[in-house]
Amino acid sequence: MKNSATKFTFKRILPVFLGALVILMVVILVLWRQTLAEPEPIARANEYFLGIRTDTLDREEGTLNPNWTLSDLLNEYGVSSDTIQKSVEAARKVFDPRQMKAGQSYYALLSDDSTGTLKYLIYERSLTDYVVFDFTDSVSVYLKEKPVKTYRRRAEGVIKESLWNSLIKNGQNPELSYKLAELYAWQIDFFSIKEGDKYCIIYDEMVVDDSVSVDVGTIYGALIKHNGKKYYAIPFIQDGMLNYFDENGRNLKKAFLKAPLKYSRISSRFSNSRLHPILRIRRPHHGVDYSAPYGTPVFSIGDGTVIDKGYIRGGGNAVKIKHNRTYTTTYMHLSRYAKGIHRGSSVKQGQRIGYVGATGLATGPHLDFRVYKNGKPVNPLKMISPPVNKLKDKNKERFMMARDQLMAELKKQHIHHRQ
């Protein structure tokens, strides 16, 4: 009796068990298929560019083709002639469309429907400045700027080819090379920078989009090791003016620049007996020849007055400048003169006075630069230039405190080459 009761119970339970098992398998199958299905699309977050919401628009990017005008560009997006004319007229109030340059970027924001209607055209004048053509209502044109953030940076490295290339390879703004050339214009000839020289600069960098460097701001200190010698640049405010001094309190700015131009090489040095390349005779060459391409700007090495301008035998087009009672300089073989340069005109240090040429007796384009001290020729490369705006005694203690703090900061990390 017991066995038959057990069999009876099992027969009643078995169909229920099998039914539950089938239901479980169906549920598992449904869940498995759901895991293989495409996920639901995630709604895009609101996106903006120059204050314009772009996640609801289609965006196209391009660069302006050579010889294209604003009309040509708008015509590419099917803008009517009437609207193009209104755009040109509206643009003139804030921006001259003729200033649009080939190669500059632009952005077209289009409706994301089948019509693809142009809603905005944005022309990039620079990494920070934009011109917006707005077609959402009536035609309007306005300027937009990207916000610029300022960060304190430290750049350091070892030069292998040039300062410019070293900065780029180390991920630093190459604009620093120009800043340093200006800062050290009286101490270092940057054309003589060579492999193994080192640099360390603390400065402000202007950045847009949190990553794109657009400019270099204030330099808070610098150290360049050139030819085994250390050159410091220590900023210090004296009498309300910012100047840069070396570690001994000598102003980096001198009465005369190190060189009157950016040159390729020195082709001839100061000599009392040089073989003239054209006349083939030996005679004194009391100057320095800087080889440079035609048209390279030539600058006055110091403040002064033009006492002579014109063509001289052998020297071609030349300018002569009297700086003070002691020093006079001459610039020869010029191709032409800078605007406003004439006898009696005043010039400032670094002011353009002419352009490199090959007038007179010259085998190629170069500048023959000469310096006279009390009427006698001296070697420009060995001339010791007096500083300007000397550090005053009353400021020395304050300067020394600033100097020690900066030098300690520059020495926190040894200058090394970044791999």
Name the amino acid, one letter, at 257: L
Residue 92 near residue 70 (C-beta atoms within 8 A)? no
Structure tokens at 318: 């030349």
Has domain 265-382 been given CATH number 2.70.70.10?
yes
SS3 88: helix
Which residues are registered as beta bridge partners of 254? 387
Distance CA 143, CA 130 (A): 6
Q: Do domains 48-145 and 265-382 have the same CATH topology?
A: no
Residue 366 near residue 267 (C-beta atoms within 8 A)? yes
The CATH T-level fold of domain 148-254+387-419 is Nuclear Transport Factor 2; Chain: A, (3.10.450)
Which residues are registered as beta bridge partners of 213? 207
Let me know the angle formed at the C-alpha of 306 by 304 and 312, rounded to the nearest 5 degrees: 135
DSSP 357: B
SS3 256: coil
Q: Which of 24-33, 59-68, 306-315 has the lowest mean pLDDT?
A: 24-33
For 250, residues 6+ apart whose C-beta sits below 8 A from its C-beta are 387, 390, 391
| Residue 308 φ then ψ, to 5° | -160, 140
What number does CATH give the domain 48-145? 3.10.450.350
159 compared with 278, residue with greater pLDDT: 159
The maximal CA–CA distance of the chain, rounded, in angstroms, is 142
Look at residue 310 and tell me whether its pLDDT is greater than 90. Answer: yes
Residue spans per domain, the chain: 48-145, 148-254+387-419, 265-382
Give the pLDDT of residue 20. 67
As a whole number, mean pLDDT of residues 380-385 equals: 81
- What tens digit of pLDDT does each residue of 248-288 get? 999 988 888 888 988 767 877 656 554 445 545 555 677 88
Structure tokens at 276: 């003239």
Distance CA 152, CA 81 (A): 50
- What tens digit of pLDDT does each residue of 325-382 get? 888 999 999 999 999 999 999 999 999 999 999 999 888 899 999 999 889 999 888 8
Give the pLDDT of residue 236. 95
Look at residue 306 and tell me whether its pLDDT is greater than 60. Answer: yes
Place of tokens 């649009």: 100
Distance CA 75, CA 333 (A): 51
Distance CA 205, CA 127 (A): 14
- What tens digit of pLDDT does each residue of 34-69 get? 655 555 555 456 788 888 888 888 999 999 898 888
Give the pLDDT of residue 68. 87
Distance CA 157, CA 235 (A): 21
Look at residue 418 and tell me whether its pLDDT is greater than 50. Answer: no
With left for phi above 0 and alpha for psi between -120 and 50, is residue 310 left, alpha or beta? left
- For the residues of 143-212, what is the DSSP string, one character each? EEE---EEEEEEEEEE-SS-HHHHHHHTT--THHHHHHHHHTTTT--GGG--TT-EEEEEEEEEEETTTE
Q: Which of 2-6, 162-166, 354-358 has the lowest mean pLDDT?
A: 2-6
Give the pLDDT of residue 371. 93
Average pLDDT, the chain: 84
pLDDT band, residue 163 (cuts 50/70/90): confident
Structure tokens at 415: 């200058």
